[in-house]
Amino acid sequence: MTMKVVAITGASRGIGAATAREFAAAGWRVALMARSETDIAKIADDLGDAAMALRCDVADYTSVQAALQTVVARWGRLDALINNAGVIDPICRISEADPKDWGRAIDINLKGVLHGLRAALPQMKAQGGGTIITVSSGAAHNPLEGWSSYCSSKAGAAMLTRAAHLEEAANGLRIMGMSPGTVATEMQVKIKASGINPVSQLDPAVHIPADWPAKCLLWMCGPGGDDWLGREVSLRDEAIRRAIGVI
């Protein structure tokens, strides 16, 4: 039986790292993609021969394309792509935003998803199918003070994911989003330190562990995701939590 292959962006920590471990434990081959080569190399070493680390900047299409070409060259296929890489910075009011910093968030959070889609689609279509999941956010649907770049880029990524489903579902591709809610990651540490908007005031105890969205992403790559194609799964939904076995 051929082992399935997943590529995960932003895999050096948080949801991405947890997702790499979850898929590896389920018997998948795992390609970890991130700018931090040292961090992903350590995780790949821990996971063994079924994992590889690929330095990749999702803001650079050539970098993403080269990484996915390396995955296919080594393992012959690409069954799933998890568009997870994202940044919260800059946290500031619009009146104080540096346009260059603001645009960098768009390059990563929105254009990074485009780059993943554009690089993965030809291979998945040629092999007859595949799953692409965008890690979304409640911020894609609700404005928050100080988060204009994050909210705008996540909203764009959510719509881009829907557009990709519209265009590619007939070609056997399974494309959808997953909104995890607040997760105990380094991003929440930055948010807490900013002191801006209600999210920064949350008790850290309410954040879910990173392995919950990881389990959800794996579940979505199987039959569980079939009812969610072109839509967004929310981990705030108790029915989803029960389905993935975390409550």
Burial 54-87 (b: 16+ CB within 10 A, else e): bbbbbbebebbbebbebbbeebebbbbbbbbbbb
Q: Classify domain 5-182+210-243 at the CATH class level.
A: alpha beta
Domain ranges of the chain: 5-182+210-243
Q: Is the peptide bond before 90 cis (omega within 30 degrees of 0)?
A: yes
What confidence score (pLDDT) does residue 125 get? 98
User: Over 90: is that where the pLDDT of 205 sits?
Assistant: no
What confidence score (pLDDT) does residue 82 get? 98
What confidence score (pLDDT) does residue 162 get? 98
Which active-site residues does the annotation give? 150
- pLDDT class of 2 with cuts at 50, 70, 90: confident
As a whole number, mean pLDDT of residues 207-231 equals: 97
Q: What is the mean pLDDT of the chain?
A: 96
What confidence score (pLDDT) does residue 80 get? 98
User: Over 80: is that where the pLDDT of 1 sits?
Assistant: no
- pLDDT class of 169 with cuts at 50, 70, 90: very high
- pLDDT class of 212 with cuts at 50, 70, 90: very high
